[in-house]
């Protein structure tokens, strides 16, 4: 596997746009690791191959928010040579992962 795409989200519908963008990527050798605490993170029925869903780690007393714990939980499940972090409500062109991979190889 070349790339692991990591996306934490806590917002309703937050990954719908990104899911559509990932389905259109020219580089297909990637996995998607999603960390969330809700199940309505996308609005449409979209199947993304090689997707891992991780439940967000619990906050401890005194924690302001949980984003760093979410990133770390996701990183433990990544199998790609390169990790790309893309947050919710993000649009990317169809050749984004290909360009990132090409730059990584260079």
Which DSSP string do the residues of 72-91 spell out, in sequence order? HHHHTT--SSEEEE--SS--
Average confidence score pLDDT of the chain: 91
d(CA 100, CA 67): 24
Q: Shortest CA distance to 17 belongs to which of 27, 29, 26, 7?
A: 7
What integer pLDDT is reported at residue 44 of this predicted model?
65
Confidence of residue 32 (pLDDT cuts 50, 70, 90): very high
**Residue 45 pLDDT exceeds 70:** no
pTM of the predicted model as reported, rounded to 2 decimal places = 0.90
Chain centroid to CA 39: 15
Chain centroid to CA 49: 13
**Residue 86 pLDDT exceeds 70:** yes
**Residue 35 pLDDT exceeds 70:** yes
What letter would DSSP give residue 39?
A: S
């Amino acid at each position: 596997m070349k790339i692991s795409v990591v996306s934490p989200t806590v917002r309703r519908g937050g990954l719908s746009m990104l899911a559509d963008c990932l389905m259109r990527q020219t580089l297909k050798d990637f996995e998607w690791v999603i960390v969330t605490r809700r199940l309505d993170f996308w609005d449409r029925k979209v199947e993304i191959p090689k997707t891992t869903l991780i439940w967000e780690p619990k906050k401890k007393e005194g924690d302001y928010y949980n984003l760093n714990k979410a990133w770390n939980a996701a990183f433990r499940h990544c199998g790609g040579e390169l990790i790309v972090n893309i947050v919710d409500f993000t649009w990317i062109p169809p050749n984004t992962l290909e360009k990132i991979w090409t730059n990584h190889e260079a």
